[in-house]
Structure formats: C-alpha cells, structure tokens
Structure 1
Amino acid sequence: MYIITILLCTLAKAVMSQTRDIFPAKVLVPQKIVTKNTNLPVTCSTFGFKKQPGLVHVYLWKDGFGIQSLIQKDQVTDTTFILADVTIQNSGNYSCVYSKNDYSLSEVTKRGDNVIPILVVDNFLPADISVSGPPAVSEGDDITFRCTVSPPLQTACGSQPILSYLRKNETILQVQPFNVEQREATFTIQGAVLRDSGQYSCVVLPSKCIDGQEEKLYGNNAVFIEVKENVLRGLAYYAMVSVMVVLLLCFLLWINKRGLGSFHKLRGLCQMENLTVAAAPSAPEEELETPTSSFSSEEEEGYANSEFIDTVAHNSQRDEQEDPYHTIDDTLDNGQAQVNTAAMPSALCLYAVSGRRIPPPLLPEL
C-alpha cells in the first residue's frame, strides 16, 4: 500500500509539472464535415496565448492524445497541420496546445483552448429505392419512385442544400430536394415511353458535391422498370389517321366531280351559242360588174384588185388555223383589217370548247 501511494504521488507531480509547461492554443478548421479521401487543413493558433517570444512546439490533439507536432518559429502565431486523404478513422474531437519543451505525443494529454468535432463521411450516401406499383408498365402510365436513407444524415460540403438524385443506368435523370426529417424523396416519371425502360437507383448528397462524381455514384439497390407498348393506343392512333386520310380523299373527289360538271355544262352552252352564230344569215356579197368588151384600164385595175383579195383571204385563212380564237374579216378599205365580232364566240366559250384548263388570252379591245 505504501508503494502504491508513492507511485500515485510521483504521477501527480509529473502531471502537475506537465500542466504548468504545456499551454493551450486555439484550433481552427475550414469545415467540420469533410469528404473521405480529401485533405483537411487544421490550424493551431498561439495568437494571444504565447507569453514569451521564441521557438515553441505546437501539438495537434485528438480525443485526449497528441497526434502530430510542429515547431513554430519566433514571430509566427499560426501553424497548420495537413490531414491527407482522410478516412472515417480521422473523425473525432480536435484541439491544440504548445510548449517550450519537446514532448512525445503520448505525453500530450492536456486539451487546448477549444475543441472542434470533425466528421469524415463519404462524398455521397447510397440510398434505398422502391417503386410504387408493378415494375412493368404500359406506355402513357406514370411511374413513382421512393428514395430513402436509413442511417442519420451526415454529409460533407458544409451546409449546402441536401438533394437526392434519381439515376437511370449510369445517368442522372432527375433531382429533388431531400426531406431530411422524413429521410425520403419522391420521383415521378409522367407518361412513360419505351425508352424509359432500364435500371433505376438513387443517392443523396449536397448539390455542389456532384461535380466530377457522377460516374462514381451508386445506390444501395436498383429496380428494373419495363415499359411495354400500348397496343390499344397504337390501334386507336392508326385508326384516327386512316379516317382522316379517307375523309380528305372523299373531299378531293367531291371537289373534282363538282368542278368537271360545271365545266361540261358551260361547254354545252357554248356549243349552242356557236350553232346560233353559224345559223345567222351572212351579208350579201357585192356583185361585181363584168365587162363584155375587151380589157380597158378599169378592167385591168379590177383584175389586179381581185388577185389582191385572193391573197388576203388566203392569209386570213392561215391566221385562223394558227389562232382559233380570232376570226378576221379582211377588207381592202385603206388596207386595214377589222374584227368580225358578229361571228366571234365569247372568250369563256372558247375556253370551254377548247377543253384546256389554262384560260385563253384576252382579246384585243376594239
């Protein structure tokens, strides 16, 4: 008993001596929740705590024991420790102290001015996904997914909004705010089509952590959705198109038939008009006096005029064959041609009788 008492007194003196030699410092971190496999800087500041100038030993403390130490030079108040490629084991309570003496890390048990809890988490949380209703649906149906997280929600990237991501195969399809209190989110695909078939999963993470991590995300499970073709809807669609085509053809046939009937009726009326014009009496030809005696100067002049009349008549007949729309009665009065309007059918009748669909040219004004 006497020996145990001596040992306890010796230990107490050592602790009191260390307490007098080790002084508190302030610990600073940029964020309390960090992502796994990243680097975390932890700064120990002696500003306002260092009483005497000179070199000091700064110790980074975690959960009651020192884990790293660095030498802080004179006139320097901040010393930064880098925790590289942090893992889940790096989670814990951190603090800082300093001393003039160099101690082993196991001897540093005194905590600093403050303690900061640091949590190391995965860069995303795999979630559970389920589907409301059967996994096989028809085209046009709605598909509803439910994304849930079982453990307490702890994510990195500070206090960013927590979002849930619906993934189809390897692509993010939808994003919804995650209900932290109920630990779930709901996704809906409205009017499903054939290309919506595939494997679906979901994950939860803050919005800014998605950059560069899309191909690494995965959920706790996946559901396969099969979208089948709706036969009745396809038949209804093709039937509607067929009815529209038939109605359009019937309308075009009706328009064509009505147009041809009016055209033939107009042609018959014009033929009757032509018969009426043909039955009209022609003007009596002027009788030419025929001399009985030998040729005089007047007779020679009349003979020359008759030859000129024959030539003009021949040219007029040729012009009528080339242009059936005009009938010209050539006369010799001052060598001018006049249009015989009495024997000329109307332009509309000429169009109907010709049977052409292009309207005839306009007749010259008299």
Structure 2
Amino acid sequence: MAVTLLIIMIIITILMCAFAIQVTSTTTGFVPAKILTPQKIISENSDLHLTCSTFRLKDNIMVHVYLCHNDIWIDQKKQKNDHYDSLFIIPIASLNDSGNYSCVFSRENDLLPKEPMKGLNVIQIVVIAIYLPADISIAGRSAVKEGGDVTFRCSVSDTLQTLGDCQFIHSHLRRNETLVQVQPFSVKRMEATFTIRGAVSKDTGNYSCVVLPSKCVPEQEETRHGNNAVMLVVKESLVLRVMVSCGVVALMSLVGLCLWLINKQSQIIAEKSKVAFSASFNAASRHSHADMSEEQNDMESQDGDSFTTEGEDYQNVVNAAVSINFDDCEGLYSAAEESTGAAVYSMPTRGDP
C-alpha cells in the first residue's frame, strides 16, 4: 500500500512539473533547462564553468539558451538543433559572482527574460576571497623593552569558507605593510598566534594580519591589509645596550690578546731556530778547522822524516868516501897497470913464429 502511494505521488509530481513547464512556456515563451557545473566553490580570480542542458527538453530544433544569476538573465548562447549542451564561462570570478545559478531556453531570440526566471534546478556557487582582513590584538602590553617577547593573536569573526576542506590555512603578520611572519590559521579555533622573540628597536611599528582561505599554501607576495592595526613600541634597554657594548669590547680584547700571543710565540720560535742554526754552524766550523790542523801536522811530520833520511844517506856516502885508502888504490892501480902491460908485451908480433 505504501509503495503504491509513493508511486502515485511521483507520477503526480512529474505531471505537475510538466504542466508548469507547459504553462511557463505558453505564457512567457521560456522553458526551464537543467544546469550543471564541476565546481560549486571556487577561488576569487578563477574562472567559473557552467553548462546549460536541454537534453530531452526540446525537439530537433535550434533554440536560445539563457544563463540566470539569482533569477536574472546574465548571458545567452545559440544552441544548434543537434546540440543539447551550452557551456558558459565567467572569467576572473569576483566575490559578487557568488549566488544561485539556473538556465532557461526559448525558440525566439527577441524575447529577453525581464522577470525572474528559474530553471529545472538551481546551483549555489560560492566564490572564496583570496585573502580576508583579520582582527589582531597583542597579548600583553603594547610597549616592551628590548629583549622581551611579544605575542599577537589573529582572528576572524565571520564564517570561514575554505577550498579542499583545509583545516589549516595560512595567515600573514605584517608590519608597516611588510610581511614579517607566516603561520597556519586553525579553522577549528579560528585563530593564529604570532610571536616575536627577543624584540629589538627595529620591531617598532604598526602590525596587522590577514588570512588566506582560498589556498592551503601561500601565494606570491601582494599588498594586503587587515581589519585593524596595533602599534608596538620596543624601548631601548640601557642595561642590555651596556651588556652588548661590554661584550663587544671583551671580544675585541680577547681577539687582540690571542693575536699578541700568536705573534709572541712566533718570535720565540724564530729566535730558537736562529740560535740552533748558529750553534750548528759554529760546531761545523770548529770541526773543519780541527781537520785542517791535523792534516797540516801529518804533512809536516812526513817532511821531517824524509829530510832526516836524506841527510843520513848523504852522510853515509860522505863517510864512505872518506874511508877510502888511497894506498890501496895505488896498489890496485899498479897491479892493473902491470898486468895490462904484461899482456900487451906478451902478445906475439906478426913476424914471429
């Protein structure tokens, strides 16, 4: 029984839709069409693609298809008799392009929809801003001394739409229109925290923050502004400056001492090397003179021995000459002379027998 009632209700609904289409077409000349899109949430400055379909809604004839935004006609295209889909592109979509979209078609081109029109279905398009101005506050005093930490809180009060169901998107902390830090912005807590550690005087300035809901990662650097700005003043600390100055002086003194010690050590090493070289040179010189003296003494000893030997030989010759007996020499001469003469006279002559 329940199934039968459900079927009857479906049939009645279809008949009522057909009747409504027929009435609308008869009274205004426009027939509701179906709208399709691959994207319902897009980023600002991107292109929006919408398709109007007349499939099973027209005969094999040419018609004019109209794209409606919030029930108002914004664009139209001619559709050939053998085509059933017409593509509409909204380039560089802005935040104003968010809203409800639908399609209608007509056989005549001179009938422009001047009253609200709705198609068979409606698609809601949401265009997300590239960045949103956020609210910023300082957790603590707005005037701190040098070396202290400063914490900023960045928040958004409105409902935050994101692409791709990003749970953490990026937020920027800016000082005097200059990007200082990038931190993840929690969609669940609707807050981001920025901390400047060891603040110095150059950190003084006006701070603001923005949120980038259209991307999970930051895009190229652009000039962006937050909803408000807070002024941070970092006071110079005399104690810290004296400590820094003393530290610099101590460091310079330590460096100078190290350089002096290195120079002194180099001089000591050079002096030791010089002394060692001089000692080695003197020792070598004494050794050379000793060798020369020893060679000279050996030569003199050899010369003395030779002279003595020659003198003794000469003396022996002289003594031998002195010891000759001239009487014996005379006798020897006489005997030699006699024997010679005898031999001469005893030789036969040629006439002797």
Distance (Å, rounded) in 2 between the aligned partners of 1:159 and 1:28: 19
Q: Tell me, which stretches of 5 or more residues in structure 1 are unaligned?
A: 1-10, 264-322, 337-366
Q: Which residue of 2 aligns with 1:28?
A: 37
Distance (Å, rounded) in 1 between the aligned partners of 2:181 and 2:52: 43
1:105 alignment partner, SS class: coil
Q: Which residue of 2 aligns with 1:333?
A: 297
CA deviation after TM superposition for structure 1 residue 18, in Å: 4.8
1:79 alignment partner, SS class: strand
Distance (Å, rounded) in 1 between the aligned partners of 2:211 and 2:35: 34
The answer to whether structure 1 residue 45 and structure 2 residue 53 are counterparts is: yes
The TM-score with structure 2 as length reference comes to 0.59
2:141 to 134, 139, 147: 134
CA deviation after TM superposition for structure 1 residue 204, in Å: 0.6
1:23 and 1:99 in contact (8 A); partners too = no
Q: Summarize the Cα distance change of 1:108–1:190 in structure 2 as closer, same or farther, 3 Å threshold.
A: closer
Distance (Å, rounded) in 1 between the aligned partners of 2:80 and 2:130: 37
1:194-233 matches, cutoff 5 A:
194-206=201-213, 207=215, 210-212=218-220, 214-233=221-240
Q: Summarize the Cα distance change of 1:12–1:227 in structure 2 as closer, same or farther, 3 Å threshold.
A: closer
Q: Which residue of 1 aligns with 2:194?
A: 187
Q: Which residue of 2 aligns with 1:148?
A: 155
Q: Summarize the Cα distance change of 1:242–1:110 in structure 2 as closer, same or farther, 3 Å threshold.
A: closer
Distance (Å, rounded) in 1 between the aligned partners of 2:173 and 2:248: 37
2:192 alignment partner, SS class: strand
For the pair shown, which has the larger CA radius of gyration, 1 or 2?
2
1:75-94 matches, cutoff 5 A:
75-84=82-91, 86-94=93-101
CA deviation after TM superposition for structure 1 residue 165, in Å: 1.0
Give RMSD over aligned pairs. Answer: 4.2
1:162 to 135, 158, 169: 169
CA deviation after TM superposition for structure 1 residue 115, in Å: 1.6
Aligned residues: 259
CA deviation after TM superposition for structure 1 residue 170, in Å: 2.9
Query: In the TM superposition, what whole-angstrom CA distance separates every residue of 1:151-178 from its partner, at most 9, and x where no partner exists?
Result: 22235x5645522111122332222221
Distance (Å, rounded) in 1 between the aligned partners of 2:22 and 2:62: 26
Distance (Å, rounded) in 2 between the aligned partners of 1:52 and 1:247: 95
1:1-366 matches, cutoff 5 A:
15=24, 17-18=26-27, 22-35=31-44, 39-46=47-54, 48-84=55-91, 86-102=93-109, 103-106=111-114, 109-112=117-120, 114-154=121-161, 159-160=165-166, 161-206=168-213, 207=215, 210-212=218-220, 214-239=221-246, 245=253, 326-327=285-286, 328-329=289-290, 330-331=293-294, 332-334=296-298
The TM-score with structure 1 as length reference comes to 0.57
Distance (Å, rounded) in 2 between the aligned partners of 1:240 and 1:67: 72
Q: Summarize the Cα distance change of 1:44–1:145 in structure 2 as closer, same or farther, 3 Å threshold.
A: same
Distance (Å, rounded) in 2 between the aligned partners of 1:129 and 1:169: 14
